[in-house]
Structure formats: structure tokens, C-alpha cells
Structure 1
Amino acid sequence: MAEIEWKPQKSSTVSLHQQITSFMKKKITHGEWTIGMKLPSQRNLAKQFQVNRSTIITALEELAADGLIEAKVGSGTKVINNTWSLLASTPPPDWISYVKSGIHQPNISIIQEINQAEANPSIIRLGTGELSPELLPKERMEQTFQSSGKLNLSLGYTEPKGSLALRQTVSAYLKTKGIITSSESILIVSGGLQALQLLSIGLLKRGSTIFHEAPSYLNSIHVFQSAGMNLIGLPLDEEGLAYDAIGRIKSKTQQKSALLYAIPNFHNPTGTLMSEKRRADLIAVCQKESIPIIEDDVYGDLWLDSPPPRPLKAIDTQGNVLYIGSISKSLSPGLRIGWIVGPEPVIEHLADIKMQTDYGSSTLSQSVVESWLHHGLYEDFLKEVKAELRYRRDFTMGLLKKYFSDIATWLSPKGGFYIWLKLKPSISTRKLFDLALREGILINPGIIYDKTDDQHLRISYSYATLDELERGLIILAQVIKIQAKGQFY
């Protein structure tokens, strides 16, 4: 259940429990809270409504007396009725059963908790993988919108592959990375995640295999799992994805339909940068095994020390690599613009699927991104934001050295947003997540990216302010030490 925004009015002449009873009854009778829906615990309801638990108990007792809810030991309190089923012989649809039978799987519970906590402005977000609002070019973006002469603006639908002007500009921009491609081989998408969604339903049949790094960003989303794919993790070392097992696993499992997903540049969540040699070896192995590669390069522009090796796509001579790029991490997540580069038949097929889902990405956003790339504004901003990220990384590394040296190990990332923190104490990172959140600190445990990983935390230096980073890491270190001693709150 989503966070409840409504709160009872404590200045009202109507008692608090009556206000809450009335609110919840309307939710049930209007069909917003459906039959079978589980209500939050009494403690959580009291917290959300900002009242005593006794007030919640009274309200729930009245709803139960009216036959609207039922509490069972071990399974919680659920909605069992509404006015329609009380008045009619034919019960209303059981929407919960529809939700459970939907094709797309829900996020794991901890991801849902993170998404809800991120809406709380008082939370210090130590794991959020996006640029801080203070780093985004708000004023310059407003000037771009106001200066319509700089925009190749269209308010109608674009062609299936996206704005031609933007695709031509992206083609020129990719040449600076060593990727030679025409506008016909580029599809504009609404960010990197939509790219993955299109690929998951457009290229492989159910039961196909997706090889990926372990840990992996893919485990924190369900686009491939929901499409019926099998995910097989491959280990990472200091040079990137260890490809040795690909052929053996493919042969052993007799996988005829397989694909590799990789983030060579500043990997999410570990921050690893794949070496130039490893890239060449990976391309050779995948060509030998006839395994196409999805290269996710959304962090590629965010190098902090020196430029990374050329993308896999730049050394691909057989059209074996589908390349995903985006400005969501480097310029603005709100614009929701990215691109897929690949063979024309693949791009045309994915464009057709995209037209069936959203009929094209925002033309306004496409115009803005085209303007920023074409006029050099993006490159100018990148220099500034990389300088800020470099300072933040070094600042965070100093804090870790001061407060975490005895409880964790880590490596300094060469770009991107993330530090992969390995905890020395043998503790539950799921429990740590709960304890830290209670202290107003939001973290991303390793179990999000690999369900067997209970040793790591993904620490991001890109979102929280410098003051929040310092306060948050000091508190987090204290919580870890307390948990390691078994002194739970």
C-alpha cells in the first residue's frame, strides 16, 4: 500500500478515530482499497496518521464491526467487503487477484520501501543514483526553454525512430566516442530503462538467457524477468566482467537464445571500469559464441580522472553490440531521453514496438537535448558537473577513511556515482537498512543487486549534499558498529 497522504484534523470537533474510520470506509466503499488488500500494521497506521495506536485500534474495531475488514493472526488485517458486496448478490471483482496475475512482476519489497522513502525530504539519501538537484542546470535549462530560436521545436508526433535532427546530432556526438553510426541506426527512447524494456520484449522469446555481471543493476528491476527471461550472473573482478564461463555455461545449459548485458563504464553498483583488454576479449568470446551484447553506457560521460577505453560498440566489427546511451545520469533525469544504437533491422523492429507503447518520446525533451548537444552546452556542463563529482568523490573517500576504516573496505571509483562498500562485520544488511532508515538514513544494500550479497552497500556521492554526506555517513558508521555488537534498538 502506498504512503497515506491524508491526515486527520486535530482541531476538528469530530474525534480522531471517527475521522479515520470515515476516511478508511470511503477508501473501501469507493473501491480504492479493494477486497483482499492488506492494510498496514497498527503501528504503521498510527505513524502515518500521526495518532496514538489506541486511536487506530478503535477505528479498526468499528470497520470490523461494519464487516469491511477482518484481522487474522499471522496474516494481518485485510479488506473483506464493501458496500457493493453488501447490497448486491454478485460480488465485485477481486482486483488483488488481477494484480497478482499481471505479467509484470512487482519490485522486491525493499525497492518499494526505497521508492517511498525517497519521497521524504527529511531523509538523507546515501544510495540514490542521480545528480543532486543542486548540480542540475536549472537556470540554463529555463533559458533554453525561453529561447525558442535555439530549439528545433515540434509539438507534434515525430517519426517512429525519433526526431531526425536529434538522431543526426547523436550520430555526430557518438563519433567522439569512436562509434560510427548513421541516424537510421539510432532509436530515441524515453531513458535507458525504456531501452531495456523494449529489448526485453522485442528480441528474445520467453525462457531465453540473459548473462550479466553479478552483482547487477538488472536485479533491481524486473524488465527481463517479467518477460520470462532467465538471468545468469557472471563474476566481476578488478578488470570487469569475467567472461571465461560464458561458453561453458551456454554449452552446459544448451542455451540457443542468449544475450549478454553489461555496464563496462563505471558499473552500477560497483563502480568498476572494464579494462581495454577485457573489452576486446569479451567481444571476441561473444562473437565466437554468437551471443549479442547489450552495452549500457549511461555513465560513460562521467569519467573523473581520465577518459575510459572505447565503448564495446566502437570495437565491434560485426554488428554484435546494441548500445544504450542516455542523458538521464549526466544532464537531467526529468528529460527522459536516451538512445539505442544497433543494426537497422533491429532498430526498425524496436521502433515499431515503441510506437505501439507510447507513440514516441517527448518532442519537447528531444528538442532540448538536440539543442544542448548541437550547441556544445552539454559538453560545457559536463566539465562543470564532473568537477563537482570529483570533489564529492574525494570528500566522501575522506569521510570513509575517517569513519569506516575499521568496519569496511572499498576502492576509489574512476567515474560515475558509486562506491561499493564491503562491510567487515558479519551483519544483516537488510536489518541495517531498517535501522538506518529509522535514523533518517536511506541506503542501498547489496541484496538489491545480488540476493546472496549480504556484505556490501552501494554508497552514492552524487545526490546528498556535502553536509548530508558527512552527517549520514557518521550516523551510518555508528549504526553498523552498534549492530555488529548486537546492540539493537
Structure 2
Amino acid sequence: MKALKYKQIIDYIKEQITNGTWPVGSRLPSQRALASQFGVNRSTIVTALEELAADGLIEGRTGMGTIVVNNTWTLMRSEPPLNWNEQVGRGTHQASMPTVQAINQAESNEDLIQLSKGELSRDLFPLEEMRVVITKVGKNLEPFGYEEPKGNPQLREEIARYLSRKGINISSSSILVVSGALQALHLISIGLLDRGSTVFLENPSYVNSLSTFQSAGMKLQGIPIDQEGINPAKIEGIHQTKNSVLYCHPTFHNPTGALMGEKRRQELLNLAERAQIPIIEDDVYGDLWIDSPPPRPIKSLDKHGNVLYLGSLSKSLNPGLRIGWIVGPEAVIDRLADLKMQTDYGTSSISQRAAAEWLSSGLYEEHISAVRKELKVRRNAALQALDQHLSRYGEWQQPAGGFFVWVKMKQEISMADLYRKALARGVLINPGRIYSNQKSPHFRLSFANAQVEDIVKGIAVLESLIEDC
């Protein structure tokens, strides 16, 4: 039996190396991890590794563990093998923070209580309605190729009609369909901004957890926010150059949930026009109001094309559709459409046609109305559980919409420790540090994804962990 296991271990490691799962330069799992995986003593693992090392496939290195140095093909060659691991850090696009990468991985773990996810719960996905929409789109389907550079004409017409209800009156030629708002930010960063430009943004901000602007050579300048978001006066005090842009999230800000009032929106637009600072307005949560409709977007006040407006169906309907849009002056949209064609030759045609049907049929309005009611139930349950379990330790504001409660600790504790201990107990939260360029005593709690009972349970777990900290 031991001999059989020994051979299985060697064959398994060889297979991982040969098929490229563990390329040259990769570090093997620890001896302890391999022993646990195969249910053997570490001595069996050591013997297997020694044979693989004798074959020239692996090598033990001080401080690095056991490294793959060859594969079965490179052993036949005289030239040294390509080490892909050396290439990983050479791309121009920066990697996400390690914590963000870990959270992205953990969000696919269905065993965790997801107090992290900025995504509607699966039970809020309108499955039957989506089947009807897809069936109808399929019945009317004709042979199709790539869509127009700006996107499917019918979808852009429907988006224009939808936006007119928000006070944004534009033609479909001023709309670019994108694969979500994140792609919109990427296109803007590489197509409209000079390297070295300054991006003013809220501090904290969702964009701090990304590397979109930094990878394009931009500098991020955080602006402190209050309960209404960015204060225009704080921008005016530090604005030094015309080579800058303002990214803002005025409606149910991520991560704080702040809602900017109508007066503040006008003041912000006035400042931007006076100082010649273009605005990127992110409105992906705008339909997800709970208590009452929010003020109209800043874009609705824009008379001079100063605002690029981003919207999406990812938060309100389903992220899997990958449908978002950019609204702006035609010259800008033409430029970004050309870049998008260079990037992916257009968003999925089927998704665009399905999105057009959702907007034109009235199904989207019915769906979003039901979502608002459910979000209110979950938000109220989260706030009640926070009052019961964390009122001694933290403080927060009641969000009027969106997905998030921004919790600030009253006493100094390690948010990194709280995040790690919560994860070990099966609860995933987002530490505030990933949204700011400085230490933060906050964490972001999502009430959109977990069931009510899990929200309450997860918050109770956090109470016990905070006491330990």
C-alpha cells in the first residue's frame, strides 16, 4: 500500500508539472500539505520528492521550498527552460492588493456567510423572467455578427429612453455599451487621460481596491467625504492643474453608502465647470433606493458635456449579463468605441439583445421594484443585528439605498486581524483598508447577498471576535 501511494505521489506531481499547472519556477505545496492530501507520513513525501529531484524535475532551495526547475520536455533540450514565473511581474497592469485577491477567491466559497459581496443574492435573480426573455430573443434571432462599435442600436435606444426618466436627455449616438462599469473605467483611463494625470476621488473609494487608473499611470488624490460625499470646497483647495479628472459616486456610494443631496450635486458641477475638471459619475447603484428615490444624477444637470456618466445592470439585475454603458459627448464616445473595438470587438450580442428586451418590456421596472422591497428587509435586519451586537463597539449610518453599511470601530482594533479571524469562523467582510490609501478603522458590511438569518448570525460572530480583539 505504501509503495502504491509512493508511486501515486510521483505520478501526480509529474502530471502537474507536465500539463503546466506547476510551470518551471513554481513552488510545490509544502511536505505537510502533500502528506495531508495523500494521507501518508511525511517520510513518504520526502522519498518521492528525492526521486523527482534525482530526475531533474524539482530542486529544494533554502528559504523558497521545493521549486520546479524542469519539465519532461525541457529535459530533452539543451537550452534552459522558459520560467513563466519571472514574466508574471513584468506586465504593465498592476496586480490587485493581496487582500483583494483573497477576497475575490473567498467570494466563490458558498460555505461562507457573504457579508462582503457587492452582488444581489441568487434568490433575487429573476430566473423565470430571464428564461422568458432569452426564449423571446432566441425566437426572433437572425444570423448576426459583431455589433456596431457603440453597441446594439436597439439597446442604445432603450438605454436613452431609460435615462430620460432620470432627466438625462441624450441621443443613442452619445451612448457606448460596455461590459460593465469596470470596463468603462479602463477605457477612460487608457483613452482620455494622460499619464501622470490626477484622479480626484472620494476617500474611501471603491476605486482604491482596483489598479485601473494606477496601471495607466494616473495619480490618485483622495478627498475626505462627509454624509453627502465629496465636499467641492475640499477639491478647490488642492486643485493645482488642469491635467486632472474627478471620479465620484454620488448615489449610494461604495463603500460608505453616502447619498449626495441635490444642492451638493449642483455645487460639484459648478466647481467642475469653473475649474475645468471633467467628472466621471458612477451611478451603478442609482436604481437601488430603499426609502425614497434619490436626486437626479449630476449628468442631468450637465449642459456643457462636462460629465461622463456610467451605468450598469450588474448590480440591479445580474452581473452575468455584463452590460453597462458610458454616456458622454459624441466625440468622446466615438474615441472610446474605437478603443473598445480594439479591446474585445464588442460586448456579447446575445446579452445586449436580452438587456434591450428587459428594458423595453417593462420587466426591468417590475424586477427592480421587488428588489427594493427585499433590500429593505435585509437592510433593516442588518441594522437591528448591528444595534444588538455591535453598538458598544462601532457606529454607522443607515444607508438609504445600495448594498452596504460602513461600520467604524470606536476603539482601536486590528481590522486585518478581525478580517482574518472572521474568515476563519466562516464570515467574510471587507476591511476598510482596501478602500483607502491609509489605515482605516472601518469595515464594509453587505446586506445584499446573504440570507437574513445568515446576516444576523454573521454579525453575532463579529461581536465575539471583536471582544477577543
- Please classify the TM superposition score into its range, dividing by the shorter chain length: over 0.9
Q: Does 1:19 align with 2:8?
A: yes
| Alignment match of 2:124 (pick from 114, 135, 160) | 135
Superposition RMSD on alpha carbons, in Å?
A: 2.2
Work out the number of aligned pairs and report it: 468
| Alignment match of 1:187 (pick from 136, 158, 176) | 176
Q: Is the 8 A contact 1:35 1:95 kept in 2?
A: yes
2:321 corresponds to: 335
Code of the residue aligned with 2:81 in structure 1: it is P
Tell me by how many angstroms 1:31 deviates: 3.4
Q: Does 1:37 align with 2:26?
A: yes
Whole-Å separation in 1 of the counterparts to 2:378 and 2:7: 50
Q: Does 1:178 align with 2:167?
A: yes
Whole-Å separation in 2 of the counterparts to 1:56 and 1:423: 46
Q: Is the 8 A contact 1:234 1:243 kept in 2?
A: no
Q: Does 1:323 align with 2:309?
A: yes
* CA offset digits 1:415-456 (Å, max 9, x no partner): 000000112332221222221111111111111111423311
Q: Is the 8 A contact 2:189 2:213 kept in 1?
A: yes
Whole-Å separation in 1 of the counterparts to 2:284 and 2:142: 25
Farther off after superposition, 342-351 or 34-43? 34-43
Farther off after superposition, 365-374 or 16-25? 16-25
State the secondary structure of the residue aligned to 2:117: coil
Q: Does 1:401 align with 2:390?
A: no
1:308 corresponds to: 294
Gap runs ≥5 in structure 2: none
Q: Is the 8 A contact 1:212 1:261 kept in 2?
A: yes
State the secondary structure of the residue aligned to 1:83: coil
Code of the residue aligned with 1:384 in structure 2: it is A
Whole-Å separation in 1 of the counterparts to 2:341 and 2:147: 10
Listed as ranges, the matches of 1:386-425 within 5 Å are 386-425=372-411
* CA offset digits 1:168-216 (Å, max 9, x no partner): 1110110100101100000011111111111111111222111111111
Farther off after superposition, 52-61 or 190-199? 52-61
Distance 1:81 1:292, change over 3 A: same
What is the TM-score normalised by the length of structure 1?
Answer: 0.90
2:262 corresponds to: 276
Distance 1:17 1:268, change over 3 A: farther
Tell me by how many angstroms 1:123 deviates: 1.4
Whole-Å separation in 2 of the counterparts to 1:99 and 1:414: 43
Q: Does 1:88 align with 2:113?
A: no
Q: Is the 8 A contact 1:42 1:53 kept in 2?
A: no
Tell me by how many angstroms 1:280 deviates: 1.0
State the secondary structure of the residue aligned to 2:158: helix
2:199 corresponds to: 210
1:289 corresponds to: 275
Distance 1:275 1:223, change over 3 A: same
Farther off after superposition, 445-454 or 181-190? 445-454
State the secondary structure of the residue aligned to 1:236: strand
Matched-pair identity in %: 51
Q: Does 1:479 align with 2:465?
A: yes
Farther off after superposition, 314-323 or 223-232? 223-232
Whole-Å separation in 1 of the counterparts to 2:207 and 2:20: 34
Q: Is the 8 A contact 1:69 1:77 kept in 2?
A: yes
Whole-Å separation in 2 of the counterparts to 1:247 and 1:72: 55
* CA offset digits 1:212-242 (Å, max 9, x no partner): 1111111111111111111111111111112
Tell me by how many angstroms 1:57 deviates: 5.3
Q: Is the 8 A contact 1:153 1:363 kept in 2?
A: no
Distance 1:152 1:84, change over 3 A: closer
Distance 1:281 1:197, change over 3 A: same
Code of the residue aligned with 2:90 in structure 1: it is S
State the secondary structure of the residue aligned to 1:329: coil
Tell me by how many angstroms 1:298 deviates: 0.3
Whole-Å separation in 1 of the counterparts to 2:169 and 2:383: 37
Q: Does 1:114 align with 2:103?
A: yes
Tell me by how many angstroms 1:91 deviates: 1.2
Q: Is the 8 A contact 1:126 1:464 kept in 2?
A: yes
State the secondary structure of the residue aligned to 1:395: helix
Distance 1:23 1:272, change over 3 A: same
Q: Does 1:378 align with 2:361?
A: no
Q: Is the 8 A contact 2:9 2:38 kept in 1?
A: no
State the secondary structure of the residue aligned to 2:238: helix
Tell me by how many angstroms 1:60 deviates: 4.4
Q: Is the 8 A contact 1:125 1:464 kept in 2?
A: yes
Distance 1:293 1:43, change over 3 A: farther
State the secondary structure of the residue aligned to 1:454: coil
Distance 1:25 1:374, change over 3 A: same
Whole-Å separation in 2 of the counterparts to 1:14 and 1:423: 56
Code of the residue aligned with 2:85 in structure 1: it is I
| Alignment match of 1:200 (pick from 157, 178, 189) | 189
Q: Is the 8 A contact 2:242 2:276 kept in 1?
A: no
Whole-Å separation in 1 of the counterparts to 2:284 and 2:172: 19
Q: Does 1:144 align with 2:130?
A: no
Tell me by how many angstroms 1:56 deviates: 5.3
Whole-Å separation in 2 of the counterparts to 1:184 and 1:233: 33
1:105 corresponds to: 94
Code of the residue aligned with 1:246 in structure 2: it is I
Q: Is the 8 A contact 2:177 2:326 kept in 1?
A: yes
Distance 1:44 1:417, change over 3 A: farther
Whole-Å separation in 2 of the counterparts to 1:417 and 1:153: 39
Whole-Å separation in 2 of the counterparts to 1:409 and 1:239: 17
* CA offset digits 1:45-64 (Å, max 9, x no partner): 567x3746736555545544
Whole-Å separation in 2 of the counterparts to 1:40 and 1:436: 25
What is the TM-score normalised by the length of structure 2?
Answer: 0.94
Distance 1:22 1:152, change over 3 A: closer
Q: Is the 8 A contact 1:275 1:309 kept in 2?
A: yes
Whole-Å separation in 2 of the counterparts to 1:388 and 1:458: 20
Off by >6 Å, runs of 4+ in structure 1: none
| Alignment match of 1:435 (pick from 408, 418, 421) | 421
| Alignment match of 1:168 (pick from 131, 151, 157) | 157
Tell me by how many angstroms 1:19 deviates: 2.6
Q: Is the 8 A contact 1:153 1:364 kept in 2?
A: no
Q: Is the 8 A contact 2:418 2:465 kept in 1?
A: yes
Tell me by how many angstroms 1:243 deviates: 2.6
Code of the residue aligned with 2:165 in structure 1: it is T
State the secondary structure of the residue aligned to 1:269: coil
Whole-Å separation in 2 of the counterparts to 1:53 and 1:230: 52
Q: Does 1:445 align with 2:445?
A: no
